[in-house]
Amino acid sequence: MLKKYSKLSAIIALLLIGIVKVEAQESLPIYMTDEELKQMPFINHNYNTGRSVTNPPTLPIRTAGEWEEVQTLLITWTGFTNILTQIVDAAQEECEVLITCADSNQVKSTLTTAGVPLTNVKYLEVGLNSIWQRDYSAHTAYLNDVDSLVMTEWIYNRPTRPLDDAMPVEQMNYKGITLYSTTQAPNDLVNTGGNWMVDGFGTAMASKLILEENQAGNVYGVTAKTEAQIDTIMKKFHGIDRYIKMDVLPYDGIHHIDMHIKLLDEETLLVGEYPTGIADGPQIEANLQYVLSNFNSVYGTPYKVIRIPMPPSTSGAHPGSPFGNGSYRTYSNSVFINKTIILPYYRQEYDTTAERIYKSALPGYKVVGIDCDNSGNNIISQSGAIHCITNTIGVNDPLLISHQALPNTNDSTNPYHVDALIKHRSGIANASVYYTIDTTAGYQSVPMTLTNASTDTWTGFIPAQAGGSTVFYYIDANANSGKHQVRPITAPEGYWKFKIGITTSIAAVPSNFDIKDIYPNPGSAISCIPVKSNINTALNVNLYDVTGRFVKQIFNGDINVGDKNLFINCAEFDAGVYNIVFTTDETQYSKKLCIKK
């Protein structure tokens, strides 16, 4: 159990900085007020009081993706109680809701009056400063990928709100979860949860605010750090191998990435879109192209991008508009809570489009929209929405499933190869692929087998289907302990899908580049990769394991018109299933390679 944070010391800290209210404050926006900015030079930057583990974990650590299974939703009850009530109502059907508040009886009364069941709601009566739970609370991580649940937190970038900064300690004391804190030099790091997006497999995204807040001469009193030093801290405390940082946006005053971009899964980016040339549209587009040009998803393939509109004010103004400065309305500021996703609403003509986009991208999810813009609910005017005022704690016993959705194909002859990383601390007893071409008729299943124990790769084959079909499928797994999980988490209502095209001849599908069958495949020594190009082009060929981890570069250079053979020595690699990714000037292809011993 963690050391309890001293309420007396918190009150003294408040008095020292001139804030004498310990009760809920309803008016603090997500950014620092003018009064708080005046107090900054007088802050005593002592961030270690009551913290628990300030050394990084000695075991490998994995920060969870937001779409993974959760046990608890965290909120702070202060201001905008109509919005909070609706969040509790939606979330209590999916998990426990832990409400930090000054008076639990007042919260219970409000919820009961609104008809919200209280059976899955808990209360933590401690001091608090503001509603912005995402920014100051801790984040879910697991030691050894799926073993011990821990939480990690940073120094909150609002030192004028010491009770908020101390809240992760209070919450983890309540839950009995080990808390790692970056509060002690040389790991003293300032960060904020709204500027934090992770894929569950070692990639994090943020704006360059993280660099500014920890540079030499920073106002937080932490030791100056280079980008490389920040990356090292994120590796040690979060297991982050790639920390992608984008330029800050001109009109987003808080510079939090969750205001315009969201990872929906390991390979899909939901990106806010302004009309051409308006507001932060040009910088968002530049940042997106930077990511797409320099980074692939964890599967070694380009990120998928889904656009979603950034709605204007009722006057038609966007942030930075010469016709009036509109609030930073965003639909990316949403939160996953198991099979439900809650997103902010603004006006019906835009909300219906946003809901359609979410439902199309995330089949089976219950989409709940909550007004964040109108009278009594105008939290967006304070530069935040649903994601900003919520956070989650993952389950104690995760069964991890990761799978790259199969692409559309013209193959109506061969079975469809399904690979997945499936992992549980007790081991996996069995796994299956469920598939159908008609969801109203139910699903059939085929077994998956463990094809690479070192990478926890399981493989199954969906039988070939007729051209013109759409195949819907999901993965089902059972651990030796009895734990059960599906992916997508909403299955069978949710699913992945791919279409099978109808072709009359090979000539009907022209291409300037062709990859013939790799042989031998499976391979155990030298395998040949025959390629043919109809144009002179640059070619890069990389080998990735089934989780998308880069293994080796096979070829990088120019090829001329004609046939060319590339070679790979399979004896260098562990047995299992791999992806070979071919990138040309025009496009990107992939082929599977099985390696046996």
Can you give the pTM of this predicted structure?
0.82
Structural domains counted in the chain: 3
pLDDT for the residue numbered 4: 33
Domain membership of residue 540 (yes or no) is yes
Residues 249-297: pLDDT tens digits? 999 999 999 999 999 999 999 999 999 888 999 999 999 999 999 999 9
Residues 105-144: pLDDT tens digits? 999 999 999 999 999 999 999 999 999 999 999 999 999 9
Q: Is 506 a residue whose pLDDT tops 60?
A: no
Question: Is 186 found in the same domain as 115?
Answer: yes
| CATH code where residue 144 lies | 3.75.10.10
- Among the listed residues 135, 574, 42, 571, the one whose alpha carbon sits nearest the alpha carbon of residue 382: 135
Residues 154-176: pLDDT tens digits? 999 999 999 999 999 999 999 99
Question: Is 308 found in the same domain as 249?
Answer: yes
Question: Is 472 found in the same domain as 447?
Answer: yes
pLDDT for the residue numbered 42: 82
- Among the listed residues 254, 253, 257, the one whose alpha carbon sits nearest the alpha carbon of residue 244: 257
Domain membership of residue 36 (yes or no) is no
Q: For the chain, what is the largest distance between any 2 Cα atoms, rounded to a whole number of angstroms?
A: 79
Which of 469, 499, 529 is at the close of a domain?
A: 499
Q: Is 564 a residue whose pLDDT tops 70?
A: yes
Q: For the ranges 3-17, 109-123, 366-380, 471-485, which has the lowest average pLDDT?
A: 3-17
pLDDT for the residue numbered 170: 94
pLDDT for the residue numbered 57: 96
pLDDT for the residue numbered 511: 66
d(CA 78, CA 72): 19
pLDDT for the residue numbered 536: 84
Domain membership of residue 483 (yes or no) is yes
Question: Is 129 found in the same domain as 66?
Answer: yes
Question: Is 517 found in the same domain as 579?
Answer: yes
- Written as one string, the DSSP assignment of 390-454 is -EEEE-SS--EEE-PPPPPB--SSSPEEEEEEEE-TT-EEEEEEEEES-GGG--EEEEEEEEEGG
Round the average pLDDT of the chain to a whole number and report it: 90
Which of 499, 524, 551 is at the close of a domain?
A: 499
Question: Is 319 found in the same domain as 347?
Answer: yes
Domain membership of residue 33 (yes or no) is no
Task: For residue 37, count other CB atoms closer than 10 A to its CB.
Answer: 12
pLDDT for the residue numbered 324: 60
Residue-number span of the structural domain to which 465 is assigned: 400-499
d(CA 205, CA 200): 12
Domain membership of residue 327 (yes or no) is yes
Question: Is 411 found in the same domain as 303?
Answer: no
User: What percentage of the chain carries pLDDT values higher than 70?
Assistant: 92
Taking CA 331 as the corner, what is the angle to CA 330 and CA 334, rounded to the nearest 5 degrees? 115
Domain membership of residue 34 (yes or no) is no
What's the average model confidence in pLDDT over 499-503? Answer: 78
What's the average model confidence in pLDDT over 61-68? Answer: 98
Which of 367, 394, 421 is at the close of a domain?
A: 394
Domain membership of residue 505 (yes or no) is no
